[in-house]
Structure 1
Amino acid sequence: MLDFVVAEVATVLAHASADEIDASRPFVELGFDSLIAVELRSRLNAATGLDLSGTLTIEYPTPAELARHLAEIHDTPAGVDTRGGSALGSVYLRLCEAQKFAEATTVLMAASELRSTYGIGDATAHAAHAVRLAEGGTGPVVVCFPALTALSGPHEYARFGRTFQGERDVFAVPAPGYADGSPLPGSAEAFVRTQVAAVERLVGDAPFVIVGRSLGGCVAHAVATGLAERGLRPAGLAVIDTYPMDTPQLPGMERWMPSMINGMLARVDGLELSLTETGLTTMGAYLRVFGHWQPRPLAVPTLLVRAGDPLPGMATTGADWRAFWRLPHETTDVPGDHFTVLEDHSDTTADAIRQWIGTLADDHPARRGTTTTRRQT
């Protein structure tokens, strides 16, 4: 089964030989993004007669792990679902379809209470190894933090990272809890300490910048703060279309959360993905333990990369729909919406951050606590 999977991986990546594929490397390090993952799923479905989920490369992040999974289900009786859907996912989807988004979130947070957890004293032991997205060049290492939805992970930055290949090292740090059977941090403090430990192990004494998209921007700020407190100050912090945690409660932002959730669910439908119980309870746990987090002042140059297009259904009159950040920062606007800034428009988003990194050695306005804006085209 492993030889079969590796051969299919080599085909979708257009490699001349399967010998070029290291089965132990994560798919995202091999060059996978969401579209390539769907192509692999389609080829595997056609070859095996199974109905596999488009989230296969998220749930089984290396060719070796995927091959083991396929070997286990190869003899699954006809009619048994092999796509990884769950009863919890069905309830969540039905509540969202009924526009009961608050209730849907409450269900996930309650279900997450059944997951095993660890405390701050064990945080370092649960720090994940970062996934490499690009290699080469000099200058600050770019360390990326994904969002915390049911489908989140390093793969969010696959296209973004690829634009830096040969130019600089780029990594993404997974959040704990997305692997079946793995424990979750029991508090925001334990979560942040875990990610701080991951960055410390990754960068050593090398200069680095931290990047986060959506809720991952809040994570990035929390981690940058934790690192600075331990004497490891980032050269900069970039938050990509990140909103404060209390945005849904703000006047005029009532459609913000529905638009975000509907955008995620549109990708579930469009790419034929599955909402697994593990992914959903992980999302619920982070909303529960991290939902009241607020950023503290941080003496690090900060860039807000703001999507230029609203999501469908997002109110564009009244309150400003665009992402905002309450602490001192510089702002740049880029093409795309909340999701496509790291998908179809990943190149221009990367260009914005590339240009900003080039200014960090200068006397940057954001260092003096002012807010400026420029537009990336």
Structure 2
Amino acid sequence: MNLPDQAVGLATLRRNDGGLHRLTTSLAEAWANGLPVDWDTHHPTTAGPVVPDIPDLPTYPFQHRHYWIAPATTPGERPAYTEVGPAPEAEQTWGPGLAELGEDDRRRAVTDMVLRQSATVLRYGSSDDLPGDRPLREMGFDSLTAIELRNRINALTGLSLPASAVFELATANALAERVYAELAELNWEVTARSTAEYATALDSPAVSPTDRGGTLRTLFRQAVDEDRYTRFIAVMSELAALQNQFTTAEECAEPLDPLRLSARHDDRPGDEHATGRALLIGCTGTAPNGGAHEFLRLSKPFRGERDFFALPLPGYAVTGTGAGARPVPVPATLEAALDAQAQAVLRVQAMEGNEPIVLIGHSGGALLAHALASRLEEVHGVVPAGVVLIDPYPPGHQAPIEAWGKLLGEGLFAGELEPMADSKLLAMGRYVDFLTDRAPGRSSAPVLLVRAAEPLGEWPADGGDWRAHWDNPHSTVDVPGDHFTMMRDHAPVIAREIASWLDGIGPCRNTAQGGDR
């Protein structure tokens, strides 16, 4: 399956928004991006002998002008059409004159712009309904809407914010601060765009140089097509050893602050069972297209019930902004990376009242979650209340990974929010090098192994058990889906199993484990 470097994702269903208006909006967005739409089928003639004249829609992307057909009020009546009159003052005029404003007025202008764009993307009537300090995930942002917001801001400002910016910055105020800082580096030089220029910029958003797919991504695409996935990963491991590196947690250039994805309501009745108050911390995986968004679906069922954070993996971020953005150093050892993560986990634990922590990871992130649990116990004296391993294939049990390499590569390309950056492909290679042949460390934390019930691809009858494996003591549960779809389509099932398992274990102590259910 060959995918284009740039794709437009359109959602026909959104939370609390799945009716005919949502479908019509999505079809209009598809039309505006060049996809043919049979409007006669979508808007059939009304009852009676009068056949309405369907107005031509523009063939270029448009914003802030409505072309909807109002329904007829009585049978046979000609439907009313929206007048295509002068457009209201376009948002694309935002920006010129910022340099002449004072600092407070500039900051207010940037914040107001970010809130207006957020309200537009989420279909709110007014930006007044969006408090700037409310988490963006709680407002309703998902993968597609986050990219849409990024595209709008980039089109207005001329910046090259990465798609991950909306995920990594917790609130609209934080996102506005990021925009403010990048515009300040440009000395507030924002050029007004014509309607056509704005539409073009919106359709083909600027991409940060560090997030732009390069030569390595092209080679990765070729390797996947030729079923040489594992060979490419091995090459990345060798190349990654030549990158700039940090040797201690103190040298790590990233704060690694865990990002809150869900919050426990303050008015929720107290739970005497410590794991009911545990902080759930999702350890992002090694994939070059990974990040906090890996846990958006899994964290959603926990909203109001438990605090759920996403913990970044060092080596995948950038420092600086705009043209000065550079990849951060990668860790020289896995221990350096784990110590940097451990410090971030302990900081958020202290901020949350020293509640117990439960580490969660999927695929390579599962191996890292268990390694972090071992490091926390061995070096920092903290035993997690539990570790949840979602479909891991540790060393010694990677025959399915080798057999399904092409499918794994296809899954990475299919999951791109934007082209995988070369720097992130190298970071992936660094961690693959760390995890190859590394036996799981010791940990007193109870472990839940969550396995996919369906194989990712074909598997020979005499090939043995293809399912995820864990040698150390653990509890096991199987959930619907394969290695990818279990997290994409069946996250609520996984969340239910995690909650049930937590309800049955004690805080920070060993349990009798090993039974399947």
Both structures adopt the same fold (TM-score exceeding 0.5): yes
Q: Does 1:144 align with 2:282?
A: yes
Question: What is the rounded CA distance, in whole Å, between the counterparts of 1:154 and 1:126 in structure 2?
Answer: 15
CA contact (8 A) 1:58 1:153 kept: no
In structure 2, give the amino acid aligned to 1:201: R
Q: Does 1:263 align with 2:411?
A: yes
Question: What is the rounded CA distance, in whole Å, between the counterparts of 1:225 and 1:326 in structure 2?
Answer: 15
CA contact (8 A) 2:214 2:421 kept: yes
Q: 1:281 matched to which residue of 2?
A: 426
Q: 1:107 matched to which residue of 2?
A: 235
Question: What is the rounded CA distance, in whole Å, between the counterparts of 1:91 and 1:85 in structure 2?
Answer: 11
Question: What is the rounded CA distance, in whole Å, between the counterparts of 2:334 and 2:308 in structure 1?
Answer: 25
Question: What is the rounded CA distance, in whole Å, between the counterparts of 1:235 and 1:21 in structure 2?
Answer: 36
Q: 1:171 matched to which residue of 2?
A: 309
Question: SS where residue 298 of structure 1 aligns?
Answer: coil
Question: What is the rounded CA distance, in whole Å, between the counterparts of 2:278 and 2:407 in structure 1?
Answer: 35
Q: 2:213 matched to which residue of 1?
A: 85
User: Is the alpha carbon distance of 1:179 and 1:74 closer, same or farther for their aligned partners in structure 2, counting shifts above 3 Å?
Assistant: farther
In structure 1, give the amino acid aligned to 2:443: L
Question: SS where residue 367 of structure 2 aligns?
Answer: helix
Q: 2:390 matched to which residue of 1?
A: 240
User: Is the alpha carbon distance of 1:199 and 1:31 closer, same or farther for their aligned partners in structure 2, counting shifts above 3 Å?
Assistant: farther
In structure 2, give the amino acid aligned to 1:115: Q
Q: 2:468 matched to which residue of 1?
A: 323
CA contact (8 A) 2:246 2:252 kept: no
Aligned residues: 364
Question: What is the rounded CA distance, in whole Å, between the counterparts of 1:32 and 1:24 in structure 2?
Answer: 14
Which of 295, 314, 317 lines up with 1:157 in the alignment?
295
Which of 34, 44, 47 lines up with 2:143 in the alignment?
34
Q: 1:9 matched to which residue of 2?
A: 118
After superposing the two structures, state which structure 1 stretch, 288-297 or 194-203, moved more: 288-297
Question: SS where residue 282 of structure 2 aligns?
Answer: strand
User: Is the alpha carbon distance of 1:122 and 1:260 closer, same or farther for their aligned partners in structure 2, counting shifts above 3 Å?
Assistant: same
Q: 1:56 matched to which residue of 2?
A: 163
Question: What is the rounded CA distance, in whole Å, between the counterparts of 1:315 and 1:66 in structure 2?
Answer: 49
CA positional deviation for 1:221? 0.6
CA positional deviation for 1:21? 5.2
Question: What is the rounded CA distance, in whole Å, between the counterparts of 1:309 and 1:39 in structure 2?
Answer: 33
User: Is the alpha carbon distance of 1:159 and 1:81 closer, same or farther for their aligned partners in structure 2, counting shifts above 3 Å?
Assistant: closer
User: Is the alpha carbon distance of 1:48 and 1:32 closer, same or farther for their aligned partners in structure 2, counting shifts above 3 Å?
Assistant: same
Q: 1:209 matched to which residue of 2?
A: 358
CA positional deviation for 1:259? 2.8
Q: Deviations over 1:252-277 (max 9, x none)?
A: 66313333222212323xx6x31112
CA positional deviation for 1:174? 0.4
Question: SS where residue 120 of structure 2 aligns?
Answer: helix
User: Is the alpha carbon distance of 1:125 and 1:116 closer, same or farther for their aligned partners in structure 2, counting shifts above 3 Å?
Assistant: closer
Q: Percent same amino acid at aligned positions?
A: 33
Question: What is the rounded CA distance, in whole Å, between the counterparts of 1:199 and 1:101 in structure 2?
Answer: 33
> Structure 2, unaligned stretches of length 5 or more?
1-94, 96-109, 170-174, 271-276, 319-325
Question: What is the rounded CA distance, in whole Å, between the counterparts of 2:249 and 2:152 in structure 1?
Answer: 45
Question: SS where residue 361 of structure 2 aligns?
Answer: strand
User: Is the alpha carbon distance of 1:13 and 1:198 closer, same or farther for their aligned partners in structure 2, counting shifts above 3 Å?
Assistant: same
Q: 2:516 matched to which residue of 1?
A: 373
Alignment RMSD (CA, Å): 3.6
Q: 2:45 matched to which residue of 1?
A: none
Question: What is the rounded CA distance, in whole Å, between the counterparts of 2:131 and 2:243 in structure 1?
Answer: 33
Q: Does 1:305 align with 2:414?
A: no
1:351-362 equivalences in 2 (<5 Å): 351-361=496-506
Q: Deviations over 1:228-285 (max 9, x none)?
A: 223211111111111113433x4x66313333222212323xx6x3111222121122
Question: What is the rounded CA distance, in whole Å, between the counterparts of 2:250 and 2:311 in structure 1?
Answer: 18
Question: What is the rounded CA distance, in whole Å, between the counterparts of 2:144 and 2:468 in structure 1?
Answer: 27
Question: What is the rounded CA distance, in whole Å, between the counterparts of 1:211 and 1:265 in structure 2?
Answer: 24
In structure 2, give the amino acid aligned to 1:34: S
Question: What is the rounded CA distance, in whole Å, between the counterparts of 1:300 and 1:60 in structure 2?
Answer: 29
Question: SS where residue 511 of structure 2 aligns?
Answer: helix
Q: 2:370 matched to which residue of 1?
A: 221
Question: SS where residue 93 of structure 1 aligns?
Answer: helix
CA positional deviation for 1:162? 1.8
Question: What is the rounded CA distance, in whole Å, between the counterparts of 1:314 and 1:106 in structure 2?
Answer: 24
Q: Deviations over 1:171-199 (max 9, x none)?
A: 11101122223121111111111111111
Which of 292, 295, 315 lines up with 2:437 in the alignment?
292
User: Is the alpha carbon distance of 1:178 and 1:314 closer, same or farther for their aligned partners in structure 2, counting shifts above 3 Å?
Assistant: farther
Q: 2:245 matched to which residue of 1?
A: 117
User: Is the alpha carbon distance of 1:245 and 1:262 closer, same or farther for their aligned partners in structure 2, counting shifts above 3 Å?
Assistant: farther
Q: Deviations over 1:21-53 (max 9, x none)?
A: 5778885576533233344467679x6699x99
In structure 2, give the amino acid aligned to 1:85: G
Question: What is the rounded CA distance, in whole Å, between the counterparts of 2:304 and 2:389 in structure 1?
Answer: 23
In structure 1, give the amino acid aligned to 2:397: T
User: Is the alpha carbon distance of 1:197 and 1:109 closer, same or farther for their aligned partners in structure 2, counting shifts above 3 Å?
Assistant: same
CA positional deviation for 1:207? 1.4
CA contact (8 A) 2:168 2:259 kept: no
User: Is the alpha carbon distance of 1:41 and 1:156 closer, same or farther for their aligned partners in structure 2, counting shifts above 3 Å?
Assistant: same
Question: What is the rounded CA distance, in whole Å, between the counterparts of 1:262 and 1:110 in structure 2?
Answer: 22
> Structure 1, unaligned stretches of length 5 or more?
none
In structure 2, give the amino acid aligned to 1:96: V
